[in-house]
Structure 1
Amino acid sequence: MQPKISSQYNVRVPMRDGVTLSADIFRPAETKQGARVPVILVRTPYNKNQVPYVEAARYFAERGYAYVTMDVRGRGDSDGEFVPYVNDGRDGYDAIEWCAAQGWSTGNVGTLGGSYLGRVQWLAALHQPPSLKTMIVMVTPSDPFVEFPTGTGGLQHLCWLYLVNGRLRQPMDQIDWNPIYQHLPLNTMDERAGFDAPKWREELQHPTRDAYWERICYQNKFEQINLPVMHISGWYDDEQIGTPLNFIGMTTRGATEFARKNQKLLMGPWGHAINTTQKIGEVDFGARALIDLRAYELRWFDAWLKNQDDGITREPAARIFVMGKNEWRDENEFPLARTQYTKFYFHSSGNANSRYGDGALSQEMPRNEKPDAYTYDPSRPTPYITNATSSQIGGPDDYSAIQQRGDVLVYVTASLEHDTEVIGPVRVILYASSSAVDTDFTALLFDLHPNGFAQRLCDGVVRARYRDGMETASLIEPHKIYKYEIDVWNTCHVFFAGHRIGVQIASAAFPKYDRNLNTGKDLATGTRMEIAAQMIYHDAEHPSALVLPII
């Protein structure tokens, strides 16, 4: 019996500068007799011979595609030096056009992949390779400082740099990371971890969005991309913010009407490892949480690479999983056109500290109310519940224990009389002062269940020196009241009757975000800490509020 698939390993693919990259190619056997098929290209820093890549390659090759998995420059079997993202735009263009020029190719190329493998697709698309017809981008990282608007890449970024240290995947779990996150200064944390990461130290020298970062930015350039794109992520993906932003960016700013009208969004109840489990932590999202994602991808590629009318291009633009109800829903856009952005104002008599305080949320404007005060000590930062490594940062975790701390303010609604559906971007408007010249304010949206389970939904941070954006840093005047806006990312959740909507305010979420030492000094080299006295205001002149997208 003749094999259905022809496979080639370590095929050398030349780049424009003479460096050759290594690819494994799986294609239908009939291509050896002259048949031509479309190509799906996957470019990875995680070594192309991993089992999931091979399984995907065989799936698509059996369905009439050539599937090319390539090690990016400097990783695996590819030559050159690995510099994250910097060469991936040009190399992606060259790889796409090489695929299109092969004798077994129809000339139509699509790209596929998640996380690093998603971002490199955007960087290649900016070079406008003529043979690229579509992309499926999953759990895609955003531009610098979108996920971490702190002037650093986040402490757990060092885990990833260890993972890709050298040419092969390194075992992140062999290092005890939690004591390392306590290390100061930040610019020697790699030494504390036991390895050399020049990229870590180099990035810390660029705490604002400057020319160094612009070379790997794509979210400010959607006007240059004229492609149908499928965007996939999960509500608990720790890089979730990028996928809705990219969908919105392409539907509103894509290069042509064709591009703007041919975007697809798929958001599940998943973490960064999408569509692998129906349960995250203590929360089970039900049997419908998992789908035949590969078949969904196949329909998209069939439409755009084979010109087959399978109906997917006429389906609603967004397919989203509504948590709580645990059901899939089709929508024509995201955010939803029928959204009512509703302010839930902070209230208290000055004692909102901890879950045992008197912090409240309501749609009634505050009048004359005492501010809430707490002390932020960087040597004892408010914890963030997460795995130690960067493989998954946070989830639907129970924050009831953390909300016993005095350096956490908790504001909750009364028990809801009716189910309340919240779908879309969440933000907090915060009026605050500090005794420090720089500090952080964090906000976390949670669902307070009747049994006391405080389920995290999404969260965000503002670093005071970057309150006006990441282009410049500006310290604050101690004890002066400033208005801050905190991007709390997105959620898609039903708060059931009897539950309460809650928001947690603090000045740390450690180790997700590096500690603000409150001194205003250099982030990379600072070691001295100061304790900050924080005040949160909620009165007629300073109406702090949680802004929810109510459906």
Structure 2
Amino acid sequence: MKMRLAVTVAVAMVVALVGGVRAMNVEQLTEMAAVMGEEFETEIAAARASWSAFNLTMRDGVQLWTVFLNLHSEGTWPTVVIRSPYGPDGTENLADLFLPFGFVVVEQNQRGTGQSEGNFTFWSTCPDDEADTISWIKQQSWSNGQVYIMGASADGINAILAMRQQQQELGQWLIFSLGVGYAAAFQGGALKQNLAKEWLKGMQDYRPDAPSYYETVLLPHEQYGDWWQQRTLNNDSTITFPSIFWAGWYDIFLQPMMDTFEGYLYKSVDPQQSRMIIGPRGHCLTEHPFLFPDDRYAEVWSYETALSIYGNGTLPASPLYPRWQRAMAKYLGVDGYKAAHNLERYTLYVMGPSRGAPPSADVTAVAAENTTGMYWTTSPEFPQATTHNLFLDDAERLQELNPATQNSKTYLYNPNNTVPTVGGNNLELACGPHDQRPVENRSDVLVFTTGPMIEDTAVVGRIRVRLFVSSDRVDTDFTVKISDVYPLLKGGDSILIGDSIQRMRWRNGPEQNAAPMEAGEIYEITIDLWPTAYIFAKGHRLRLVVSSSNYPRFSANPNNGLPLDQSGPILAANNTIYFGGDTPSAVELPVVSAEQIPRNVPIP
């Protein structure tokens, strides 16, 4: 499939903001649990009336605060374990998802959090702690020896990294998490400042007298070494159970979660039953400007698949199944829900244009107005894309042919005057596909745009940007964004699809030693923007934005080459992008055909 563009000169845009808020995955998950609590109120009330809380002693003597919930008076039962760092009530209502279906639930505060003893260890002790907890469960009179794990976000990181030792569970439901601790804090060698600093501040609240998790524990480990190896899943081959992964295109952990899933698939003993569902959302604790029709099916399908894995596929045969269907229909806001039994290994939400529909908008109307994208597709394999190169030129265009002559553009990057973050894969910052025009007219921002698309163009997979760059400093950053530019008659918005960064001293990889730049030398770098599934509609344009900051999503580089935990001068940098000739800077776009992403998931 050839990507067809009409080349035009970019025109000036009128600045406009996209409004609206959309909740993140855990908020949706707890809302779904609340609906289950209403449907099964009598049964769950009995379990909560008899709940017990106690301290469970680990092998090193540290005691972890643990809650046991059981609505069954006799017999032995399978157990669902949820280990969270979010305090005594952080995951309490998630038990309502499982209690009615013949499970007991064990909830536990992770080491150094909530009411548990010890200090937070960035998950290095979770293999031992989880093994000790499961061992205790299997010794109880109410246990039938079957243990399953659920984990969302930091809970899921714990569940995945516990696999560094061969564990004893039989299945996992993993939500917006990862198996590489380093990727939670760094991307392209740059610190995810807002995410890491703000999240660790919350962990520090549990242990205010402990050494600073951010300044004295995290910052000295910006290089990937032994410390991070202890927080990386590197023995996928020991995994023998099926898992369901639920991720989001705008999530803070998207790429490392996909990497973890692929490790489960291609290294584990029996990956056949494992599934991944990728929806259009992310953690997104604040603003998320778009309404995506039918997006809530991600959590329902992942929940349904987890129950099927945990119950060996017996959910539809349960006498409680009609009540469960009624609860899911209520959560989805539909008249009835029919199970999605035909989901393949990968189920993806294919996004498309949608100009800032507020959460109160009519979902049906939004869906009817957007015929490009906004649907689910399922496939046994992730769609294999063909790479199309869009080359930068001196007229600020992206075109299909590399210009014969080399040109360049230079801008001044001042760490004291950074480009502000506007949307993206964030936690506590505005999240998702925000309009980028408010930051595109700065003198330290370079903008390159295609002509209007001649036909709908589907982009599925990892977008990469290859740049040839130089600087007059020993270190600096290069940031990139890809956006969908709407026709002027539809507002002219420049809607963010993805962004990323490369810190130049780590251009050879975070496991290598930091490498300073030499003034005047041109370096070739490739910046990974993580995957997406998005259809650029006919008449829309694709835009590349290049700069050297995206703050506070990423820390501002002071350009002095010093490690994060050392202070030094804050220096301005003259940074240059080269394109054309022997320096063919380009966007590497993964393009697929419509046949590869069919609308093949029926929505009841």
TM-score interval, smaller chain: 0.7 to 0.9
SS at match of 2:56: strand
TM-score by length of 1: 0.85
1:117 lines up with 2:155 in the alignment: yes
Aligned equivalent of 1:354:
none
Aligned length: 501
CA offset digits 1:333-371 (Å, max 9, x no partner): 22x13x1121111112xxxxxxxxx31112212211421
Distance apart, 1:523 and its partner CA: 2.5
Aligned: 1:164 with 2:178: no
1:434 shift after superposition? 1.0
1:176 matched to which residue of 2?
none
The match for 1:246 is 260
Cα–Cα, structure 1 residues 453 and 142, in superposed 2: closer, same or farther, change >3 Å?
farther
Question: For residues 162-193 of structure 1, what are the alpha-carbon distances to aligned partners after superposition, in whole Å with 9 as ceiling and x for unaligned?
Answer: 2122439x9xxxxxxxxxxxxxxxxxxx9xxx
Deviation at 1:304, TM superposition (A): 4.0
Give the Å deviation of 1:386: 4.9
How do residues 396-545 of structure 1 correspond to structure 2 at under 5 angstroms?
Answer: 396-450=433-487, 451-471=491-511, 472-545=513-586
CA–CA distance in 1 between the matches of 2:310 and 2:87? 28
Deviating more after overlay: 426-435 vs 18-27: 18-27
The answer to whether the Cα contact below 8 Å between 1:399 and 1:456 also exists between their aligned partners in 2 is yes
Relative to the length of structure 2, the TM-score reads 0.78
Q: Which amino acid aligns with 1:105?
A: S
Give the 3 Å change call, closer, same or farther, for CA 312–292 of structure 1 in structure 2.
closer
The yes-or-no answer on 1:329 pairing with 2:374 is no
- Checking the alignment, whether the CA contact within 8 Å between 1:89 and 1:127 is kept in structure 2 is yes
| Native 8 Å contact 1:5 1:58 kept in 2 | no
Cα separation, 1, equivalents of 2:110 and 2:349: 33
Deviation at 1:393, TM superposition (A): 5.8
What is the match of residue 336 of structure 2? none
Whole-Å separation in 2 of the counterparts to 1:318 and 1:545: 29
Residue 290 of structure 2: aligned partner: 283
C-alpha distance in 1 between matches for 2:146 and 2:138: 6
Q: Distance in 1 between matches of 2:302 and 2:562?
A: 50
Q: How far off is 1:489 after superposition?
A: 0.9
CA distance in 1, matches of 2:378, 2:176: 20
Deviates more, 1:374-383 or 1:15-24: 15-24
Does structure 2 retain, via aligned residues, the 8 Å contact 1:437–1:478? yes
Equivalent residue, structure 2, for 1:207:
222
Which residue of 60, 63, 69 maps to 1:17?
60
SS at match of 2:433: coil
Residues of 2 paired with 1:206 and 1:5: CA distance? 44
Distance in 1 of aligned mates of 2:146 and 2:475: 52
Shift of residue 294, structure 1, vs aligned partner: 4.7
Q: Tell me the distance in 1 between the aligned counterparts of 2:403 and 2:104.
A: 62
Identity of aligned residues (%): 26
For the 8 Å contact 2:192–2:553, the answer to whether it is kept is no
1 CA distance for matches of 2:299 and 2:194? Answer: 32
Higher deviation after alignment, 155-164 or 539-548: 155-164
Alpha-carbon shift at residue 151 of structure 1 (Å): 5.5
AA partner of residue 208 (structure 1): Q
Correspondence for 2:247 among 214, 218, 233: 233
Q: Counterpart amino acid of 1:216?
A: R
Residue 397 of structure 1 contacts residue 456 of structure 1 at CA under 8 Å; is this kept in 2?
Answer: yes
Superposed, which structure 2 residues align to 1:63-142 within 5 Å?
63-130=101-168, 132-141=169-178
The residue aligned with 2:20 is none
Offset of 1:28 from its aligned partner?
2.8
Letter in 2 for 1:342: H
d(CA) in 1 for partners of 2:463, 2:390: 11
The answer to whether the 8 Å contact 1:151/1:470 transfers is: no
Aligned partner of 2:346 in structure 1 is 318
Bigger relative contact order, structure 1 or 2 (CA pairs below 8 A, ≥6 apart): 2
CA contact (8 A) 2:424 2:499 kept: no
Q: In the alignment, residue 5 of structure 1 is paired with which amino acid?
A: A
CA distance in 2, matches of 1:516, 1:211: 25
| Counterpart code for 1:538 | F
Q: Which residue of 1 aligns with 2:188?
A: 149
- Report the CA distance between 1:526 and its aligned residue: 2.5
Contact 2:424 2:432 (8 Å CA) reproduced: no
Distance 1:297 1:281, change over 3 A: closer
In structure 2, the residue corresponding to 1:415 is in which secondary structure? coil
Partner in structure 2 of residue 57 of structure 1: 95
Distance in 2 between residues matched to 1:304 and 1:493, nearest whole Å: 33
What is aligned with 1:5?
A: 47
CA distance in 1, matches of 2:290, 2:340: 31
Rate the CA distance shift 1:533–1:88 in 2: closer, same or farther, 3 A.
same
- AA aligned opposite 1:11: F
CA contact (8 A) 1:145 1:470 kept: no
Contact 2:468 2:524 in 1 (8 A): yes
Amino acid of the structure 2 residue aligned with 1:114: A
- Whether 1:264 aligns to 2:275 is yes
Partner of 1:178: none
1:342 counterpart (355, 364, 388): 388
Which structure 1 segments of 5+ residues have no match? Answer: 171-189, 349-357
User: Does 2:235 correspond to 1:221?
Assistant: yes
